[in-house]
Amino acid sequence: MFNNLKIATKLGAAFATMVVLALVVGGMAIQQMAQMYEKTHDIASSWLPSVKAMGTMGSTLNQFRRAEDDHVLALDDKTMDEVDKALARARQSLTEQLKAYEPLISGPEERKEVDDLHKALAAHFSTHAKLIPLSRGGEKTFDEAKAWLRGDSRASFYAAEAALKDIIELNDRGAAKASAEAEATYHAARAWVLALLLGMALLASGMAVVIVRTLTRQLGAEPAEAAQLAARVAGGDLTTAVPLRSGDRTSLMAGLAGMQASLVGVVSSVRQN
């Protein structure tokens, strides 16, 4: 069926096929790039900012804890007043940092982890509320304040710190997973594009061979050779041998050979008459 089509139709079909394949390759590449962008965007806009925010919060929590130590060790009310201000600033920073973190929460698991952090901080602030009066009690309550600082207060601080670390680890795992998925998408896209490009090359080569063979079979020779021979016959040269391939009865060259033989017969008949 393909052999019976016009040359323009064959060339048009070949070109259209290559265009369609090029669009498929381009569409596949765009789709895979979109998936890679989504994963890298998650890393840049969610996972890494979350880790950074929790790191900052951990630093603030440590500042709060050091201020508690300073408060218990302070020797006068003036120093305690300054430490109280530092404690208030650190607590306010923690509150603001937690509020700013809310938009970064990416799912139910992280929501639970953040809620656990809220509870752990509330528990530590509760132990803190008992620590300060003991700290301000002077020598009478110093031993009790120190025991509370090293006992319940330390335990609640460690619990809050552990809750922070759980969130950081959750985001680290999320970033690692997104990175692995982006890498897998890249390798899959690369394999698909290479396979499609190879398929395009093979198909193009196959179609080129079919079209060339079809044209050569229809012409019976190379286009330039057929054109040259036709020009000679048209110019009256009836002596040039027309090379035909074995079994060729339908090509342009076969038609030229037949026309040449007819013209030779006509000329011979005229000369004899």
127 φ/ψ angles, rounded to the nearest 5 degrees = -70, -30
User: Whole-number mean pLDDT of the chain?
Assistant: 86
How far, in Å, CA of 139 to CA of 153, rounded?
19
Average pLDDT of the residues in 18-43: 82
Taking CA atoms, 26 is separated from 32, 61, 192, 193, 220, in Å, by: 10, 51, 11, 9, 40
pLDDT of residue 252: 77
129/198: higher pLDDT: 129
Average pLDDT of the residues in 179-183: 85
Q: Which of 1, 70, 54, 41 is nearest to 182 (CA)?
A: 41
How far, in Å, CA of 82 to CA of 67, rounded?
10
pLDDT of residue 123: 96
pLDDT of residue 170: 92
Q: Would the pLDDT of 244 be above 80?
A: no
How confident is residue 152, by pLDDT bands cut at 50, 70 and 90? Answer: very high
pLDDT of residue 194: 86
How far, in Å, CA of 2 to CA of 250, rounded?
17
Q: Give the count of alpha carbons within 13 A of 251, CB side only.
A: 23
Task: Give the model confidence (pLDDT) of 214-231 as tens digits.
Answer: 777 777 777 777 778 778
40/146: higher pLDDT: 146
Taking CA atoms, 78 is separated from 19, 100, 135, in Å, by: 82, 33, 13
Q: Would the pLDDT of 87 be above 90?
A: yes
Give the other-Cβ count within 10 Å of 40's Cβ.
Answer: 15
Q: Would the pLDDT of 7 be above 80?
A: no
How confident is residue 1, by pLDDT bands cut at 50, 70 and 90? Answer: low
How far, in Å, CA of 28 to CA of 191, rounded?
11
Looking at residue 103, what DSSP letter applies? G
How confident is residue 3, by pLDDT bands cut at 50, 70 and 90? Answer: low
Comparing 101-115, 131-145, 199-213, which segment has the lowest mean pLDDT?
Answer: 199-213
pLDDT of residue 4: 63
Looking at residue 137, what DSSP letter applies? T
pLDDT of residue 163: 95
Comparing 69-73, 83-87, 94-98, 190-194, which segment has the lowest mean pLDDT?
Answer: 190-194
